[in-house]
Structure 1
Amino acid sequence: MPVIQANGCPIDVEVSGPDNAPVLMLSSSLGTTKHMWDPQMAAFTKDHRVVRYDRRGHGRSGITEGPYSMEMLARDAIAIMDALKLDKVNWLGLSMGGMEGMWLGAKAGNRIDKLILSNTSAHYPDKTMWHTRMDTVGKAGSVAAIADMVINAWLTKDFQTAHPDVTARMKEMMIATPVEGYLGCCAAVRDMDHREILKEIKVPTLIIAGSKDPATNVAAAEFIRDSIPGAKLAVVDAAHIANVEVPEVYAKEVLGFLG
């Protein structure tokens, strides 16, 4: 696992799969690590060289002073590509990873082959939720203060009941996120507005939405689809962390699009 210096921050990166295969780069949700993608790794690494990493302020990566911006986080991804000597990648980002992907597709489209934007949104017009979340975490000094609320957006109640072990691992991953990194990334999501740049995306794009996702709903996905020329939309039966809730269906959608 290499540690790559990305714009002044050490980023923990993992590379798996066949050396000469097409590259698939994965970017995770707020409050998760690269291990969020564990359910898909066997399927993805069969025919792809997979690059996954812990975002700035998360997991084993470094923490810099916030607030962060979506451009900063997307440029971290470009720094990883540069360090690994990757001219182009297929990009799969869920939630925040999708937000970074929108910026990359619009502003660094020459580095993207195909683009998958999963369970994500281009803009949050009402900032109240983000102010409240950041205030709660900051005062408590731990992401645990919002863990129950967030896990109910991440995974449906039925999934939580049927898979308590998976639910517990996801919750532990969230709680382990450093407060400074979490707040820095919350600010990036709060301040993001990608609505105007979506039309600049020219690469083949797939949007994945969860039919039961309360955080980034199907309407948000439809807006992104309608704003990107030629984009396609797939809706899966899941809440926000769709790749964890319906892992086989999710992998099938991704790999079917990548070809």
Structure 2
Amino acid sequence: MRLDYEVSGPEKAPVVLLGSPLGATRAIWAPQIPALSERFRVIAFDHRGHGGSGVPAGPYAIEDLGGDVVELLNELMVEQAAYVGISLGGAVGLWLAENAPARFSRFALLCPPAYPAAGAQMWTDRAAQVRAEGTQAIAEATLGRWFLPEYAEAHQAEVDLVRQQLLKTPAEGYAACCEALGALDLRDDLANITAPVLLVTAEGDTSIPPETVVPLAAQIPGAHLEIIENAAHLVTYTHPDRINPLLLAHLT
């Protein structure tokens, strides 16, 4: 399945892929793309079911989402790239690190779910709710997990831009990705990851709590862990002053 994407940065520079959260498009990377594209050929893509990508009927599996990324590399004739992903995009990155190691030089994975910590049923229920009522049914609760209240109050315009991405996400695409997350368990092969991995978690993340991310650093050989204080789930968007230097240092 062909993913929609946009490219920025020098044509001959090393390639970096950017994978977004559930319910968001590649536009979520606006705080990172200018900084990264000074040094890298940046390819920001929409997962299947999101943004400009196709919306096949679900359920999806993490193998589908990861396979789409490998197909994108093939389409663009990119032999190897670095990968940065947050949330759902982070889970896709873990799968790629385990299953397509030859295609990726290194990974930066932010707030990545490795298994359904809240239980598979939660994802099944959310998928059913979104199929019945659309993403508007879960929008405010989602934004409440993505942003700390003080950030949301001080940055209403920025939060509304993210809200619009969520509201425009096709119900089937969102629900089918929920089902992929509900069936996810990538823990068994973490010890086999060979690429350098930067793991980032946010102190106030209630979507993918730090206690589910911190142990991954001990299981992935050589992984480097960073914990961002006073931050919620969408840490790339709210704390680019902390995240961008970490990404540049890890990817360079």
* Shorter-chain TM-score range: over 0.9
Q: 1:235 aligns with which of 211, 227, 234?
A: 227
Q: 1:148 aligns with which of 140, 155, 160?
A: 140
Indicate conservation of the 8 Å contact 1:103/1:197, yes or no. Answer: no
Q: 1:130 aligns with which of 123, 127, 152?
A: 123
Question: Which deviations, in whole Å up to 9, do the C-alpha atoms of 1:212-254 show, x marking residues without a partner?
Answer: 1101111111121111011010111311111111112111111
- Residue identity opposite 2:90 in structure 1: G
Q: Which residue of the partner structure matches residue 173 of structure 1?
A: 165
Q: 1:15 aligns with which of 7, 12, 20?
A: 7
Instruction: Say if 2:244 is the partner of 1:244.
Output: no
- Please report the TM-score for the alignment, with normalisation by the length of structure 2: 0.97
Distance 2:108 2:243 in 1: 12
- Please report the TM-score for the alignment, with normalisation by the length of structure 1: 0.94
SS in 1 for 2:166: helix
Distance 1:220 1:161 in 2: 28
Indicate conservation of the 8 Å contact 2:21/2:88, yes or no. Answer: yes
Identity over the aligned pairs, expressed in percent?
A: 32
- Residue identity opposite 1:46 in structure 2: E
Matches within 5 A, 1:1-259: 9-125=1-117, 126-140=119-133, 142-237=134-229, 238-259=231-252
- Residue identity opposite 2:40 in structure 1: H
Question: Offset at 1:139?
Answer: 2.0
Distance 1:120 1:79 in 2: 22
Q: Where in structure 1 do 4 or more consecutive aligned residues deviate above 4 Å?
A: none
Question: Which deviations, in whole Å up to 9, do the C-alpha atoms of 1:93-143 show, x marking residues without a partner?
Answer: 101111111111111101110111111121015123212212221221x10
Indicate conservation of the 8 Å contact 1:121/1:224, yes or no. Answer: no
Indicate conservation of the 8 Å contact 2:2/2:68, yes or no. Answer: no
SS in 2 for 1:180: helix
Indicate conservation of the 8 Å contact 2:2/2:71, yes or no. Answer: no
Distance 1:174 1:225 in 2: 30
SS in 1 for 2:32: helix
What stretches of structure 1 of length at least 5 have no aligned partner? Answer: 1-8
Q: Between Structure 1 and Structure 2, how many residues are aligned?
A: 250
Indicate conservation of the 8 Å contact 2:93/2:109, yes or no. Answer: yes
Indicate conservation of the 8 Å contact 2:51/2:169, yes or no. Answer: yes
Question: Offset at 1:87?
Answer: 0.8
